[in-house]
Amino acid sequence: MRVIYVAGPYTGKTINDTFENIIRARQHAYRLWQQGWAVICPHANSAFMDGEDVETTREMFIQGDLEVLKRCDAIYMLPGWSTSRGACLELKRAKEWGLEVIYGD
């Protein structure tokens, strides 16, 4: 079974926007599972673990996410991915590592 990583916006302008981003990512992840992928969805993995020191926590998660991404076969870019600093970095690394890139609709 091939492994795919879901990338896209996590943080929103409000806590509700962040919640909606997590739900959207989970919906796409579920569809990918139904298509036969083993799915890594960091939105669900670290949901609301931001903590008080948001910048330090964000950097810690981005570094961990990149480590996980490195071990995947493909990356799935959620709609709106280009507005996410983290997703842009993940896509750049995925291309450098030769992962298949799939753009969601």
90 contacts 75 by C-beta, under 8 angstroms: yes
Q: What is the mean pLDDT of the chain?
A: 91
Which structure tokens are listed for 62?
A: 């981005």
Q: Residue range 23-35: average pLDDT?
A: 97
C-alpha to C-alpha distance for 87 and 1, rounded to whole angstroms: 24
Q: Is pLDDT of 53 > 80?
A: no
C-alpha to C-alpha distance for 58 and 53, rounded to whole angstroms: 9
Lowest mean pLDDT among 3-12, 35-44, 49-58, 96-105: 49-58
Q: Taking the model in full, what pTM does it have?
A: 0.90
- pLDDT grade, residue 45 (50/70/90)? confident
Whole-number percent of the chain with pLDDT over 90? 74
pLDDT at 68: 95
Q: Residue range 7-25: average pLDDT?
A: 93
Q: Residue range 7-18: average pLDDT?
A: 92
pLDDT at 102: 98
C-alpha to C-alpha distance for 69 and 97, rounded to whole angstroms: 9
Contacts of 4 (CB under 8 A, 6+ apart): 32, 37, 38, 39, 40, 72, 73, 74, 75, 76, 102
